[in-house]
Amino acid sequence: RNQQTLAFAKHYSVEVLTCHPADPASKGGVESSVKIAKADLVPKDTNLRDEYASFAELEAACTAFMDQVNTREHRTTRRRPVDMLAEEASSLHRVPDTAHTLAYGVGRRVPENTPMVSFDNAQYSVPAHLLGAEVFARFHGTGPDAQVVIVHVGAGGPVEVARHALARPG
């Protein structure tokens, strides 16, 4: 089993149920969600969408899509998901105040002698006070506007400490 997935599940107090390989019946709900998302969100000729101008525009489309599907009656339950969630909310456990580090990106150690971290075969600077500390790096966006975001999790929680345009490998 994937140790990162297990740590993520433990952090959020959830159980990860895996599907059986080559068994479409065990994937039913997930496969349907992917099919719906591809049909309604992924740009293509049939939904008259060539592309999204930004990641923020895609996020807005996802929010609008969720609002649409969560407020219409579900075919099986004959109830709106938003109403079912309101009823079940008191039974759900609280989500942790801080995200699991997997959400911040890939862990990197800042060397003791230089405030730089390696990520995707390139070097990125971080504040000098983080010498020797662990930080997390991840991509944000795609194409010419893509960036690398670097986060440090300190006593006060996660803080973005650097944001860079993609650097050339080397």
Tens-place pLDDT, residues 10-55? 988 888 887 777 777 766 666 677 777 777 667 665 555 667 777 7
Distance CA 4, CA 99 (A): 14
Tens-place pLDDT, residues 123-162? 999 999 999 999 999 999 878 888 999 999 998 888 999 9
Q: Which residue has the tokens 């996020």?
A: 59
Is pTM beyond 0.85? Reply is: no
Beta bridge partners of 151: 136, 160
